[in-house]
Structure 1
Amino acid sequence: MSETASFGYRDVEAAEKQGMVRAVFSNVASRYDLMNDAMSGGAHRLWKDQFVNRVKPHRDERILDMAGGTGDIAFRLHRHGAQVTVSDINPEMLAVGVERAKKKGLEGLIWSEQNAEELSFADRAFDAYTIAFGIRNVTHVDRALREAHRVLKFGGRFFCLEFSTTTWPGFSDVYDVYSHRLVPRLGKLLADDEDSYRYLVESIRRFPPMPAFERMIRDAGFVQTKVEPILGGLVAIHSGWKI
């Protein structure tokens, strides 16, 4: 039997998922940041600030920001003086990031179209690897994690910001109603794309819960792994070290 992968609530041929995800983000690239604000009430900005504070970027260290798309994490890392390579599988998302960087007058960022499962970078090339709200869209998450481990130097650190499943009683029910009923409607209203945002919501529900994803990070070779839940696990910061 052929291998399958989840695409929202559907199971599709694994070989097809990458193209389907790419189409989603091509559709939403120009409105991606607007929709993030609308869906989270602007809270995603605070989550990203907290994420970068945990990364503790240093001046002149090399950081790979995978699925970096429109540059939100990269710009924050860059402010600390880090040498940031922004990578994404989607050229439309990267184009939005490049344009945003120009408007902000930011120079020195490297923009690179990459597949998280098959990075073109050399072994032990980076001091840190970051990925925010992107790993759940990867077809083979285990391969992406192994690639993250490969390109990190010994002593390098891995940080992932991703949606998860909140454990707060009551809040999870409210969020389910909001995400399944209102987010697709917001997508239709603000981006004229209800289906793409329905997929984004469904992809969160299919992503492994926090303990399971932490085990995947350890299985990829990372040690001293840690999970920091936000809003009871609605969002979580995962981290690990390569030694």
Structure 2
Amino acid sequence: MDRSVSDDTHFGFAEVRLDEKQGLVDEVFHKVASRYDLMNDLMSGGLHRAWKSAMTTAIGLPRGARRFDMLDVAGGTGDIAFRALKSGGPGVSVTVFDINQAMLDVGAARAAKRRLGDRVTFIQGNAEDLPFPDRSFDAVTIAFGIRNVPRIPVALKEMRRVLKPGGRLLVLEFSKVDVPGLAKVYDAFSFGVIPRLGQMVAGDGEPYRYLVESIRRFPDAETFAGMICDAGFEQVTATPMTGGVAALHVGFRI
């Protein structure tokens, strides 16, 4: 299946050049970094916590001392990393990778507070050009970040490249609501309430408006599963959550 990317893309619902999107996304996340968890609570009604718990379980983390190297892409604040370290055994280590330094600063501060500095590393960079050798990680995760990558097919191929054979990719992302009544309620909440809450809580509603619009631009679960297959992954599954508000995608490098 050919899912080629054009030179233009969407920033929310606005058309922007593909090479401009990353800077605009960086600006959004710089503004919300200190309140990122609150942002996710607002956008998901708190359900993101249950979805992330399900994702953490699906990683297949060893409970013993066996070494397990995990890469969490776009995970700057450390939320997924801390969950993995809590669930897995002492052999689990996590590299947190994010393009936004403000997000990484939040995560590093949280890691220091939890005294996890010896098990988690924070690195800045672009998901489309991962600075790691081939076959470096047992698992790669990305939660609510893939839709903000300008060239998603490129990033997916990079994630496959750095996975060890038998390793798994897990992508948690907002998706298309598949319950008609819920879809109307969710749209009304997303576009009518979330930007206003963002204005009240963070003093700026526009980043939240972009994040809502970016969700609507993201492919449905079946289409995105096809993109993961196109990147070379096998045994790809897509599991809708909460009526399709989000979906967990899993694929393996065989």
Q: If the TM-score is normalised by the length of the shorter chain, which range does it land in?
A: over 0.9
What residue in structure 2 maps to residue 140 of structure 1?
A: 151
Q: Alignment partner of 2:16: what SS?
A: strand
Q: Does 1:214 align with 2:218?
A: no
Q: Partners of 1:39 and 1:212 in 2: how far apart?
A: 23
Q: Does 1:46 align with 2:46?
A: no
Q: Partners of 2:156 and 2:46 in 1: how far apart?
A: 29
How far is the alpha carbon of 1:208 from its aligned partner?
A: 0.7
Alignment of 1:182-193 (within 5 A): 182-193=193-204
Q: Partners of 1:115 and 1:221 in 2: how far apart?
A: 20
Q: Partners of 2:52 and 2:124 in 1: how far apart?
A: 22
% identical equivalent positions: 53
Instruction: Return the match for 2:109 from 99, 102, 124.
Output: 99
Q: Does 1:90 align with 2:100?
A: yes
Instruction: Return the match for 2:188 from 177, 192, 201.
Output: 177
Q: Partners of 2:226 and 2:252 in 1: how far apart?
A: 14
Q: Which amino acid aligns with 1:184?
A: P
Q: Alignment partner of 1:115: what SS?
A: coil
What residue in structure 1 maps to residue 242 of structure 2?
A: 231
Q: Partners of 1:109 and 1:151 in 2: how far apart?
A: 18
Q: Partners of 1:22 and 1:205 in 2: how far apart?
A: 19
How far is the alpha carbon of 1:38 from its aligned partner?
A: 3.0
What residue in structure 2 maps to residue 74 of structure 1?
A: 81
Instruction: Return the match for 2:177 from 154, 166, 172.
Output: 166
What residue in structure 1 maps to residue 19 of structure 2?
A: 15
Q: Partners of 1:234 and 1:33 in 2: how far apart?
A: 18
- Which structure 2 segments of 5+ residues have no match? 1-5
Instruction: Return the match for 2:161 from 142, 145, 150.
Output: 150
User: Contact (CA 8 Å) 2:75, 2:97: kept in 1 or not?
Assistant: yes
How far is the alpha carbon of 1:11 from its aligned partner?
A: 1.3
Q: Partners of 1:39 and 1:65 in 2: how far apart?
A: 21
Q: Partners of 2:137 and 2:17 in 1: how far apart?
A: 33
**Cα RMSD over matched residues?**
1.1
Q: Partners of 1:173 and 1:49 in 2: how far apart?
A: 27
Q: Alignment partner of 2:140: what SS?
A: strand
Q: Partners of 2:246 and 2:46 in 1: how far apart?
A: 14
User: Contact (CA 8 Å) 1:28, 1:193: kept in 2 or not?
Assistant: no
